[in-house]
A = this chain, B = another copy of it.
Amino acid sequence: MEMLSYSNVQIGVDYYPEHWDESLWEADMQLMKETGVKVVRVAEFAWSRLEPVEGSFDFAWLDRAIDALHRYGLQVVIGTPTATPPRWLTTGYPDVLPVFADGQTFHPGVRGHRCYNSRSLLKYGTRIIHKLARHYSGHPAVIGWQTDNEFGMIDCHCDRCNEAFRDWVQDKYKTLEHVNAEWGTVVWSGEYSDWQELTVPYGGSPFQNPSLLLDFQRFQWDSVVKFQQTQIDVLRAECPDHFITHNFHSYPQRLDMYAVGAGLDVASFDYYPNTSPNKQATTPYSGALSLDVTRGIKRKNFWIMEQLSGPPGCWMPMWRTPYPGFIRAYAWQAIARGADTVVHFRWRSAVAGAEQYWHGLIDHSNVPGRRFAEFGRLCYEVNALADKLKGTELKHEVAILHSHEQKAALDIQPQAEGMDYYENIKQYHRVLTKLGIGCDVIQAGEPLEKYKLVIAPSLYLLSEELAAQLEAFAIKGGTLILTNRSGVKNINNICLMQPLPGMLSRAAGVWVKEYDPVGGDVHTLLDGQGITFECSQWCDLLAPVTAEPIAWYNDDFYAGTAAITVNSFGKGQVYYFGTHAEEGYWSMLLAGLADKLGLLRFAGLPEGVQATVRSGENGSFLFLLNLSKAEQTVKLDKPYRCELTGAVRSGPVVFAPYGVEILGTEG
């Protein structure tokens, strides 16, 4: 297959030529080239420099910058500048500015001051993107575009959004009768008798009708997608040879990244693992999940568009400086989990503006130091392995189903103290990662044929289609793990009048007799071997129909009642977790399933060390990364070729803190 421009394995930097005196440019680019940098992202916040006053465009400075980058052999990705509308636009056309639920305007000064439905933003944003796209379409350095920057939910309540939301609802439900019926507005006398009565939910209160609140979320998701599509349309038309991406930021977030990602060629992620020693024990695992989530957006390799390069800070106190090896190891972690290009934020720390202490590779002094030296080593290593790694991918037999819809609905109505949709996913993913079992994190509804084991946390809103797909997966031999709070509601956030888990009861072979939202109260489970485990959050009291209990409650009035069951369903097995079991229980269960199902696994990992495999036509590459400050020893299962040194590795291998091994075998 022909590799696209975004498939190279390489290192880049974020660079803001407009922030620096032009006299610095050449030295900067010379050093980039010498260090081994291949890609530079530019211009995503430069609207005021590209169009200083309405209708007057100045691309000359950017031409000089991109021409210079090209001279040093650097490829360029341009960001569309809509995340920071300039002052002439917000002053002259204030409909650009979002309005919060309390009626306050979101004033400029901070980034992201733009209503996705604003007509002025659409008009002036489209115009400058059109001019930029046409201007740089043929430039030999330019390879792609980033839409906007770090889309987020603004929860705009402006008049235009009010109108657009009303149209959205009308488009979905056609008649007010239908709205009233599907949202259950009769409760608390909320029925609409005229379309003008229907507004965005002012006040921002979770007390409101949950069906309205969920549809308002969906409307906002669609607003972002629609807004981005106007940019994509222009870019596709003008720059058919360039790729388009967007840089998602930290998870969980309220965005529908699957819908945003659908229009893109490749997804990007802004990756800032926590540098605090107090948080480093959890950071490599939550970071691994973030990378797997990003890979799941388009179910293929991705970019890091901003990678941590120094201590972040600014409006918050600064974080700790990265420990020696931290920057290199985390960049390799990104690649190990499917990043092809890793762009570091940023070349040099800003001397002005609100991000002065979001440190770059080089400090304000412009004297390259310890961190830059480590970055140099990284560039060297990545360039050395770039050809081998190009085209390799991660292939997994386990999937966790993720859903921004479930998260949204569960955030609107928290179920129990301490119960958090994404934190639970973190636990399942962490257990798999510690066990050395690779997994994909994909949107619920994606095809499941390639997986042997699927974990489907809290399918709280359940459609008939999804229930049928999961049944079919199990019937054909798949192993499915369901958890409590599944099958509770239809997709309009209305409770189903069925015993739980509703449409999944047949597959699970179990009914929920009643439940106890135990929240933070810790209860215990007893498994078949008489071992006890802690559980919390929620306790479904299970009545198995065709399922077999495998763990029972050990406390309260329901001691002895089934808590976890397994059901043979077709050729497969369906587990149902009526409660949130502790990590130890999941570890025991998943290790057993790995043996039983013969799952690919790198066993014997010590705490903090992660293993993944990228493979392709060039062979297989086992990444072993010690993402801890402690020395660790890993026992290899067979001899490998060390790709960084060429030496052969076998038996016990000692990892220094933040030590990295890339071990090759034939494909």
Does A419 interact with chain B (Cβ within 8 Å)?
Answer: yes
Of all chain B residues, which has the CB nearest A212?
A: B109
Judge whether B514 and A208 touch: CB under 8 Å. Answer: no
Binds B, one of A137-145, A261-269, A346-354, A526-534: A346-354
Does A516 interact with chain B (Cβ within 8 Å)?
Answer: yes
Judge whether A184 and B352 touch: CB under 8 Å. Answer: yes
What does the 1/0 interface line of A475-491 toward B look like (CB < 8 Å)? 00000000000001000
Judge whether A187 and B320 touch: CB under 8 Å. Answer: no
Assembly CA distance A91 to B186 (angstroms)? 17
Of all chain B residues, which has the CB nearest A318?
A: B517
What does the 1/0 interface line of A89-103 toward B look like (CB < 8 Å)? 011000000000011
Binds B, one of A79-87, A291-299, A329-337: A79-87
Judge whether B109 and A202 touch: CB under 8 Å. Answer: yes
**A201 surroundings in chain B (CB, below 8 A):** 109
**A18 surroundings in chain B (CB, below 8 A):** 186
Interface residues contributed by chain A, number (CB under 8 Å): 111
Partner of A191, one of B52, B111, B193, B205: B52
What does the 1/0 interface line of A186-197 toward B look like (CB < 8 Å)? 111111111011
Of all chain B residues, which has the CB nearest A348?
A: B497
Of all chain B residues, which has the CB nearest A191?
A: B48
Judge whether A365 and B318 touch: CB under 8 Å. Answer: no
**A185 surroundings in chain B (CB, below 8 A):** 48, 352-353
Q: A191-B87, A207-B110, A278-B521 are in contact. Are A184 and B353 (CB under 8 A)?
A: yes
CB interface residues, A 11-47, toward B, < 8 Å: 16, 18-19, 45-47
Does A370 interact with chain B (Cβ within 8 Å)?
Answer: yes
Assembly CA distance A370 to B495 (angstroms)? 20
Judge whether B206 and A317 touch: CB under 8 Å. Answer: no
Does A211 interact with chain B (Cβ within 8 Å)?
Answer: yes
Does A592 interact with chain B (Cβ within 8 Å)?
Answer: no
CB interface residues, A 273-329, toward B, < 8 Å: 276-278, 311, 313-321, 323-324
Judge whether A52 and B193 touch: CB under 8 Å. Answer: yes
Q: How far is the CB of A56 from chain B (nearest CB, A)?
A: 9
**A500 surroundings in chain B (CB, below 8 A):** 365
Contact surface of A with B, Cβ cutoff 8 Å: 16, 18-19, 45-49, 52-53, 81, 84-88, 90-91, 102-111, 183-194, 196-198, 201-203, 205-212, 276-278, 311, 313-321, 323-324, 349-357, 363-367, 369-371, 413-419, 488, 494-500, 513-519, 521, 556-557
**A190 surroundings in chain B (CB, below 8 A):** 48, 84, 86-87, 108-109, 353
Judge whether A48 and B189 touch: CB under 8 Å. Answer: yes
Of all chain B residues, which has the CB nearest A206?
A: B315
Judge whether A189 and B84 touch: CB under 8 Å. Answer: yes
Q: A110-B207, A517-B318, A519-B320 are in contact. Are A186 and B103 (CB under 8 A)?
A: no
**A519 surroundings in chain B (CB, below 8 A):** 317-318, 320
Q: How far is the CB of A327 from chain B (nearest CB, A)?
A: 13
Q: How far is the CB of A161 from chain B (nearest CB, A)?
A: 15
Q: A88-B193, A197-B87, A278-B521 are in contact. Are A207 and B109 (CB under 8 A)?
A: yes
Partner of A357, one of B187, B349, B371, B413: B413
Assembly CA distance A499 to B367 (angstroms)? 7
Assembly CA distance A422 to B323 (angstroms)? 30
